[in-house]
Chains A and B, each alone.
Chain A
Amino acid sequence: MLGFLQRLGRSGLDTAAAFGRAGILLWQALWGPMDWRDGPALLFRQLYFVGVFSLIIIVVSGVLIGMVLALQGYTVLVRFGAESALGEMVSLTLLRELGPVVAALLFAGRAGSALTAEIGLMKATEQLAAMDMIGVDPLRRVARPRLWAGIISMPILAQVFNMVAILGAVAVGVSWLDVDAGSFWSNMQGTVDFREDVLNGVIKAFAFGIVVTWIAVFEGFDAEPTPEGISTATTRTVVYSSLAVLAMDFLLTALMFGVD
């Protein structure tokens, strides 16, 4: 019993310490003057690696999820003769929930794990220590551009996901299942509210971008500099980010669309 309590206490202290280290990392990485000489180039490079490299998985998944959504939606709606509401159903589902959440989960798996592995390897091969000794703060040079790249990319990727998913739904609903194109688009246009649906989705994606990138960068810096340490850190990034995204989604949904 005493041993169990000791382990529980130790685990609680370790978790609190990890939160503290993560907070300090975020503060030290983002606070301070902008490096106008190298900063933009480093940021664009990371936007390319984090954002552009995630595009393929986002686009392919988006199209497929849009197609499935249309197919499932149609089979239910057609029973009530309401298949003309397919556009409304698909767009609201995507803009409010699926777009930000699935894009964030894919982003955590694709870009988050890559960020953790890259930084962990830089630590294991003493590149971070070398930067430190050369007189460059690795938090500014390595963490800062990656954090900003994730924060900027995530909302854009979520909107790309929404766009291609709607096109996927059009391909299945309109082109294949013969839902009237006019009612599909006009229902969508009539029910989707820019502030309520689009903007809230963007805010969600932005929040997920911060959390996923923060976890990924922190896990990289905090990784044990061994092959096992890097593999554990990469796994933790995907697991923690996914859980954090789902938990945050519930909280944000309750705040944004909660019942009065």
Chain B
Amino acid sequence: MAANWIEIRDLSFKRGSRAILDSLDIDIPQGRITAILGPSGCGKTTLLRLIGSQLRPTSGSIHIDGVDITRLNRRELFVSRERVGMLFQSGALFTDLSVYENVAFPLRLHTQLPEGMIHDLVLMKLHAVGLRGARDLMPAELSGGMARRAALARAIILDPELIMYDEPFVGQDPIFAGVLRDLIRRINQAMGCTCIIVSHDIAETVAISDYMYVLANGRIIGQGTPDAVMKSDDARVQQFLRGLPDGPVPFHYPAPDYRRDMLLEGE
């Protein structure tokens, strides 16, 4: 296995008194695609935001390339983020800029490249995601899948060392989901970057990831290669992977006894 590029130790995050993440230990190897799977509300996106330093953990450490990012100040964080790309669930394209300008945005900010070179780089990335012909469109004119691909071109424009994908397959039809899956794999292989995919889409994620963590209620309940996780005998992992409505993760929100509730209501 490759060396770990990200090491998360004893990471906890609370909102008020509610623990969202509880004592997580996660290793993300360099140059590989690591998936974090789990049901909705289990803390996956929160974990991604902690790795991106958009949130501060309640306790624990997150080392990226040897640097504990939980100790960086605001200015150092902005500098460190130049090495990170992130594909947001909604795409998060800037609505007042065209597709071309959205993709060129990080280049204009972080480099002093001449306009001609910016033009070539933007078109190369747009070509890679199949949207070279859509460069002049505004985000409002794009379909959901096109917006996600344009956002992906923006996320990779600076050739980041780490790319984080937040629910990349949500709301995508099978064609776009397949396109996106291939793009993620191709980008990983071509750029050699470390990728983290947060998703609850099992089939698409299993198909491209090298290593998986399964999260539930803020804790890791399973981890390993996709094959190992699929064969896990943990009931909670199997319930999630097979989509069973009831099991260790209960179907019902905690409530008083049904019969007693009904009788009391009827009195």
Residues of B within 8 A of A130 (CB): 86, 88, 92-94, 151
Q: How far is the CA of A97 from the CA of B49 in the complex (A)?
A: 49
Q: Decide if B78 touches A126 in the complex (CB within 8 Å).
A: no
Interface string of A182-208 (1 = CB under 8 A from B): 000000000000000000000000000
Q: How far is the CA of A126 from the CA of B109 in the complex (A)?
A: 19
Residues of A within 8 A of B86 (CB): 130, 133
Residues of B within 8 A of A126 (CB): 88-90, 92
Flag the segment in A12-20, A104-112, A134-142, A215-223 that touches B. Answer: A134-142
Contact of A134 among B79, B90, B109 (CB under 8 A): B109
Interface hits, A58-81 → B, CB 8 Å: none
Q: Decide if B105 touches A134 in the complex (CB within 8 Å).
A: yes
Tell me whether B131 is interfacial, beta carbon within 8 Å: no
Q: Decide if B109 touches A136 in the complex (CB within 8 Å).
A: yes
Q: Decide if A125 touches B95 in the complex (CB within 8 Å).
A: yes
A135-B89 contact, Cβ under 8 Å, with A125-B95, A130-B94: no
Q: Decide if B78 touches A129 in the complex (CB within 8 Å).
A: no
Residues of A within 8 A of B52 (CB): 132-133
Residues of B within 8 A of A132 (CB): 52, 54, 81
Tell me whether B130 is interfacial, beta carbon within 8 Å: no
Contact of A135 among B90, B93, B95, B109 (CB under 8 A): B109
Tell me whether A127 is interfacial, beta carbon within 8 Å: yes
Residues of B within 8 A of A136 (CB): 78, 109
Contact of B106 among A125, A127, A134 (CB under 8 A): A134
Secondary structure class of chain A's binding surface, majority of residues: helix
- B83 closest partner in A (C-beta): A135
Q: Decide if B54 touches A134 in the complex (CB within 8 Å).
A: no
Residues of B within 8 A of A129 (CB): 49, 54, 88, 92
Q: How far is the CA of A133 from the CA of B109 in the complex (A)?
A: 13
Interface hits, B144-199 → A, CB 8 Å: 151, 154
A135-B94 contact, Cβ under 8 Å, with A126-B88, A126-B89, A129-B88: no
Q: How far is the CA of A136 from the CA of B158 in the complex (A)?
A: 14
Q: Decide if A127 touches B95 in the complex (CB within 8 Å).
A: yes
Interface hits, A124-156 → B, CB 8 Å: 125-127, 129-137
Q: How far is the CA of A122 from the CA of B95 in the complex (A)?
A: 9
- Smallest CB–CB gap between B170 and chain A, Å? 13
Q: How far is the CA of A129 from the CA of B155 in the complex (A)?
A: 13
- Smallest CB–CB gap between A221 and chain B, Å? 14
- Smallest CB–CB gap between B2 and chain A, Å? 24
- A134 closest partner in B (C-beta): B106
- Smallest CB–CB gap between B157 and chain A, Å? 9
* 22 A-B pairs whose Cβ atoms sit less than 8 Å apart in the complex: A122-B95, A125-B95, A126-B88, A126-B90, A126-B92, A127-B93, A129-B54, A130-B86, A130-B151, A132-B52, A132-B81, A133-B52, A133-B54, A133-B81, A133-B85, A134-B105, A134-B106, A135-B81, A135-B106, A136-B78, A136-B109, A137-B78
| New A-B contacts (5) at CB < 8 Å, excluding given A126-B90, A137-B74 | A127-B94, A130-B94, A135-B81, A135-B82, A136-B109
